[in-house]
Amino acid sequence: MTSSPHQSLGSTTRELSSIYDLAMLDLDGVVYLGPDVIAGASEALAAARGVGIRLAYITNNASKPAIEVADKLRAMQMPDLDDADVVTSAQAVAHLMADALPSGSPVLLVGGEGLRVPLEDRGLRCVSALADGPVAVVQGFHPDIGWHQLSEASYAIQAGLPWYVSNTDMTVPTPRGIAPGNGSLVQAVRNATGAEPIVAGKPERALFDETIARVGGDHPLMVGDRLDTDIDGAINAGIDSLAVLTGVSTLATIVAAPVGHRPTYVAADLHGLGDVHREVVVDGQQARCGDAEAICEEGVVRVVSGQVGATDTLRAVVELAWQISDRSDTLVVLDGTLDA
């Protein structure tokens, strides 16, 4: 059987926060879950900031203005936080639209204040009905969006108006579980119109460009919990990425990721910014990273030594699974203690 191309994890001899000059931090599933901070996030980011890396908090969620998000993060004790350190997909889509439309243009808003504020900051005027004469449609997540707003957007798009959306995340993590995201609402409009939107948020690169423009950074690292937005977005933007396991994507998801959709690094949570990501040595059905060791028997990967959840252990598991899958075109699975 012909083997597939292979893509390995990146490795370092120093902690990540000393190698990159900017960490682009996704929010939902990385820094917090809904109203609750993820345990240890503030301490991990304070330690990374102490090494010198800058922190940008970027989110595809367009439901709240950036200043409200910044206030929430300050209440969660995030270190050295300025309002400008928060960048949303609403800001990115507003920038795209302001570049394409004359100043003062009316736009049909399907969303909340998180989308309205950056649009108005860019000189655009928000309206709520096709009868108001909009020249474009813009859609972003808000929990109060209902049938009437989605229908109005559909009528406007069918009338020929260009359609911009903040992001297309199909789901969003909440303390109660996984809920429908903006992408699910976008799909409803897509179903009605057959149109395809212009997307600003991850995995498109507009949000990454907006972040660099606002915060700076020559050698950024994307930190996210979703392969389909955070990691694919980093790949599209040509930057390295760290996948953490505190949100949507699980270890099994990362193990199953095909070449071209894999993170550069993996860690249990934001403490991975302070870890050395040691090289993984794979020998047949066995892999070692530091003191951690994983083996694959009958297509099942399990840990022989090392603490489950430690960065070395995760790296041994992921690299072993990727190498076996790539050379045999067979997807391996994880032992039950890893796939919990």
The verdict on 179 and 209 lying in the same domain is: no
Q: Is residue 272 part of a domain?
A: yes
CB burial of residue 330 (10 Å; 0-12, 13-18, 19+)? exposed
Residue 1 has pLDDT above 90, yes or no: no
What's the pLDDT tens digit per position in 105-161? 999 999 999 999 999 999 999 999 999 999 999 999 999 999 999 999 999 999 999
Q: What is the pTM of this model?
A: 0.90
Of 26, 88, 10, 92, residue with least CA distance to 231: 26
Q: Is residue 119 part of a domain?
A: yes
Q: Is residue 179 part of a domain?
A: yes
**Domain final residue pick, 199, 232, 265:** 199
Spatial distance between the Cα atoms of 178 and 165, rounded to a whole number of angstroms: 21
Report CA torsion sign: 28, 31, 36, 40. positive
Total domain count for the chain? 2
The verdict on 285 and 327 lying in the same domain is: yes
What's the pLDDT tens digit per position in 301-323? 999 999 999 999 999 999 999 99
CATH code of the domain covering residue 153: 3.40.50.1000
**Residue 222 binned pLDDT confidence (cut-offs 50, 70, 90):** very high
Q: What is the structure's pLDDT at 176?
A: 87
The verdict on 106 and 181 lying in the same domain is: yes
Across 89-235, where does the E strand assignment appear? Answer: 106-110, 125-127, 137-139, 163-165, 171-174, 177-180, 198-199, 220-224
Residues serving a catalytic function are: 26, 28
Q: Is residue 5 part of a domain?
A: no
The verdict on 127 and 163 lying in the same domain is: yes
Contact 183, 169 (CB under 8 A): yes
Full residue range of the structural domain in which residue 24 is found? 16-60+205-334
The SS3 call for residue 118 is helix
The verdict on 195 and 227 lying in the same domain is: no
Spatial distance between the Cα atoms of 33 and 12, rounded to a whole number of angstroms: 29
Spatial CB neighbours of 273, under 8 Å, sequence gap ≥ 6: 15, 16, 17, 23, 44, 45, 47, 48, 53, 223, 242, 267
The verdict on 212 and 191 lying in the same domain is: no
**Domain final residue pick, 181, 199, 217:** 199
Higher pLDDT: 87 or 174? It is 87
Mean pLDDT, range 76-102, rounded to an integer? 96
Whether omega for the bond prior to residue 180 falls within 30 degrees of 0, making it cis, is no
- Interhelix angle 66-75/113-121, nearest 10 degrees: 120
Q: Is residue 96 part of a domain?
A: yes
